[in-house]
Structure 1
Amino acid sequence: MTSSVFRFDAGLEVRRLGFGAMHLPTEPGPAREASLRVARRAVELGVTLIDTAYLYGGGANEELLAEALHPYPDRLLVTTKVGVERSGPSGEWRLDGRPAVQRTQVEQSLRRLRLERLELLQLHRIDPETPLADQLGTLRELRAEGKVGRIGLSEVTVAELDQARRIVDVASVQNRYNVLDREHEPVLEACERAGIAFLPWRPISAGASGAKAEVAAVAAEAGGTSTQVALAWLLSRSPVILPIPGTARVDHLEENLAAQGLHLSQAHRARLDRLHEPA
């Protein structure tokens, strides 16, 4: 039977089906109030892993989660990401992994999230203009200072993951991955071999009409929705996969989280596996 939890180490265990906060509106008004309700409902339903980032509104998403959930319940992991920054008169985002920028962003995230320590901090992207040893070395120093507990990466190749692991212990990888998009299958396999958490972003994909029809057929047979089938397939695919579907609606949140109780037979999984095979 597939485990519903993932243990990073002896000090941190989470339920595998989490919540991605990126889509929560943060501007004042009814939309923000709805966002607060969604975040709180996620925790009520047992979510113990919530993903955010500085990129999501320049920290506004972090502030929203703190408003909704602080003081945080026991065993709730709010993970965030650094490594991108606004630049120029138009305020465009760009990769920026310079040590001083990373330190500032970590301090700001701690303040916005009202935390003394980020239990899991991920590098949003590797900055090709800054040596990787400098980027990860800074995060390693912050971990030694007690401001970061564990370090993760996002959108990396197998080679980049290998290089990073020679510099620092890597606790997680966040790459795009779903039942219809498995470009990063080799990265998932590398994570599985090493026991590294794999957080697929965009865990649900609409896909082409034929693929959508097959997912819908499996859903009808399994007694769920296509969205639930996509998430249940991820949970069955590997014990290191921690899906983080996002939504700004409570009904969609409840549908997503119900996927953990959806059973896919071996035949169902085989049909879904074949959706990615070359024609």
Structure 2
Amino acid sequence: MKNTFKAHAAILGANVIYGANYIIAKGIMPDKIGPAAFVFIRLACCTALFWGVKKLTVKEKIKQKDFIRLILCGFFGAAANMMFFFHGINLTSPIDASIIMTITPVIVLIFSYLILKERITKNRVLGILIGGAGAVFLILYGNKASGTSSALGNFFVFLNASFYGLYLVIVKTLMKKYNAITVVSWMFLFGFIMVIPFSINDLISTNFEAFTLNTYLVIGFVVLFTTFLTYIFNIYALNYVSPSVTSSYIYLQPVISFIMVSVYAHILMKSEYAQDIDLVKILSCLVVVAGVYITSIPLKKN
């Protein structure tokens, strides 16, 4: 019971961090640092951190045939999804991004059906259609909404969710064969190598002299909390609770994002966020959550 409680606390902590990250990461882009340079720093630092942990805790070798999957994990789980996320959040509202990300379990279900040939029911098809409709509507609504919304930014976040969902399906078999720290270490290393050609110019052109204490604190938060600690929290939690329980906490992210945007807009007086919350977005959020809930209903055993 004690370990189960700690597992739930870890999942809760991870999703609170994720929910806060939408607006925190957006706060320094693009004025202080570009999205690509931010991804470079995030992956470089976390690659070093995870390999440091691996050297101290895990001693295992990867079979040569599994490196192809690790490279794919590096692309979909680190390089591509982070690039699209940071470019997306740079362009759009934190509210929009957090709502669209809740579609991830639906994406996982679709790829599990296509790649792993897992069973799919009529209820799950209905959930996919409902959740997908809510996400697509919100993407299209991005150019018409007030505040910081953007259709292109929303589409980038949707691609991020799609790539991350595909990564979760690909990594599934690797997690059964190797320690999670080993898999994550290699994934971040390959992802970091992949983003170098697309981010090095952005990094070189960054004016580091213009960085303030707040800039360094935000980068530190994204590296240490949003990436390193959340991965550790999720890895720990999966030892004691099922993946379905872990994924269900994703519903918290829009709630945290709504709260954070409200604080920024009405307490910290960041006027650009004042119109980010409206009835259409709330309804879109409810539609997406309803779709994800329907897809998460357990299959009946014969």
Answer 1 or 2: which has greater helix percent.
Answer: 2
Instruction: Tell me the TM-score normalized by structure 1.
Output: 0.30
**More strand as a share of residues:** 1
Query: Could you say which structure has the greater relative contact order, defined with CA pairs below 8 angstroms and 6 or more residues apart?
Result: 2
Q: TM-score, normalised by structure 2?
A: 0.28
